[in-house]
C-alpha cells in the first residue's frame, strides 16, 4: 500500500465529498494517511478524523502562517490533543519567509516552542521550510531537534541541504512538484537521497501533481509522486511503494 504522509483532508475544499475522496484513495492503494493539524482548529478536526477512520493518523502543531495567533490557551489545547492515541507527530511547524504572514520574530519564537513541545512529548516533528533554510537549520541545531527527528515536508531545497538534514536524522518528503518537468533540482534530490530516507505526500488540496496540475489535489494522487520517483531512480514502482510506506511508519512510529 501507499502512505500519503501529509494531507489536509479537513480543508473546506473537501467539505462536500470528503468520504468519496477517502474512498478513492483506498481504491488507488493508499492504505495510510497522515492528516496535518496546522493550528488549534485544524488539530481538533484532525483528531476527529483519526477517530473516524482506522487508517488515518495525525499531527498537531502551529504553522508559521498561524504563529501570530498562537497563545497560552492554544498551547494548553495542543497538549490535550497531542495525548490522543493516533496523534503521532508535532507539525506542521517551521518558518515561511516567502509569504511572511506572521512576523519573522514571532515565527521563530513559535517554532522554537513547538520543537521543545515535541521534545517534551517525544514525538517527531514535521517541518515547513520556505525561503528560510538557514534559520530553520540553525534552530534545529540550537534546539537539538534531532533528539526526536522528523520530516522535511514537501522538500524544495537543494541536495547539499538535504544531505545536512539526513545527517541530523530527518526524512525528506517529496510531493506533487516532483512531477513537474522543470523541477530539475528536485529531481536531483530524488535521485541522491537514500531510498530509506524518502517519504511521499500530496499536501492536498495543494500542489497537485501532473497531469492534474491546477485542480484540487487528493490522497489518491500520491501514486503519481511514487511513479515519478520510480522513474527517476529507475526501480520498480512496487519497491517505491513498499519502501516509502515502511519509512513513513518508521518515521511516525506507526506499528499497525
- Contact by Cβ (8 Å): 127, 153: yes
- Contact by Cβ (8 Å): 8, 205: yes
For residues 148 and 89, give the distance between their C-alpha atoms in angstroms, rounded to a whole number: 10
- Contact by Cβ (8 Å): 102, 62: no
Q: Answer whether residue 256 shows pLDDT above 90.
A: no
Tens of pLDDT, residue by residue over 53-109, are 999 999 999 999 999 999 999 999 999 999 999 999 999 999 999 999 999 999 999
Q: Quick one: which of 13, 25, 55 has its CA closest to 222?
A: 25
pTM: 0.97
Q: Supply 214's cell numbers.
A: 491546477
Q: Supply 99's cell numbers.
A: 509569504
Return the beta strands (E) in 8-158 as ranges: 30-37, 56-60, 87-96, 125-130, 150-152
For residues 180 and 213, give the distance between their C-alpha atoms in angstroms, rounded to a whole number: 9
Q: Quick one: which of 249, 181, 242, 250 has its CA closest to 209?
A: 181
Report the pLDDT value the prediction gives residue 222, as an integer from 0 to 100: 98
Q: Does domain 2-251 have CATH number 3.40.720.10?
A: no
Amino acid at each position: 500500500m501507499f502512505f500519503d504522509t501529509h494531507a489536509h483532508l479537513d480543508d473546506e475544499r473537501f467539505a462536500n465529498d470528503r468520504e468519496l475522496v477517502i474512498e478513492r484513495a483506498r481504491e488507488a492503494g493508499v492504505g495510510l494517511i497522515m492528516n496535518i493539524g496546522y493550528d488549534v482548529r485544524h488539530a481538533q478536526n484532525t483528531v476527529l478524523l483519526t477517530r473516524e477512520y482506522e487508517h488515518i493518523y495525525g499531527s498537531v502543531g502551529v504553522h508559521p502562517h498561524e504563529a501570530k495567533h498562537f497563545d497560552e490557551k492554544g498551547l494548553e489545547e495542543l497538549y490535550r490533543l497531542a495525548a490522543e492515541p493516533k496523534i503521532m507527530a508535532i507539525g506542521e511547524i517551521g518558518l515561511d519567509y516567502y509569504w511572511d504572514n506572521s512576523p519573522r520574530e514571532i515565527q521563530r519564537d513559535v517554532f522554537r516552542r513547538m520543537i521543545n513541545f515535541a521534545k517534551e512529548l517525544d514525538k517527531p516533528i514535521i517541518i515547513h521550510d520556505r525561503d528560510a533554510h538557514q534559520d530553520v537549520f540553525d534552530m534545529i541545531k540550537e534546539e537539538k531537534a534531532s533528539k526526536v527527528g522528523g520530516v522535511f515536508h514537501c522538500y524544495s531545497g537543494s541536495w547539499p541541504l538535504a544531505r545536512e538534514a539526513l545527517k541530523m536524522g530527518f526524512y525528506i518528503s517529496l510531493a506533487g512538484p516532483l512531477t513537474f518537468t522543470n523541477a530539475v533540482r528536485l529531481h536531483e534530490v530524488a535521485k541522491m537521497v537514500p531510498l530509506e530516507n524518502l517519504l511521499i505526500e500530496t499536501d492536498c488540496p495543494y500542489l497537485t501533481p501532473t497531469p492534474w496540475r491546477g485542480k484540487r489535489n487528493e490522497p489518491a494522487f500520491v501514486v503519481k509522486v511514487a511513479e515519478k520517483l520510480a522513474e527517476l531512480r529507475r526501480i520498480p514502482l512496487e519497491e517505491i511503494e513498499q519502501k516509502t510506506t515502511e519509512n513513513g511508519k518508521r518515521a511516525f512510529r506507526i506499528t499497525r
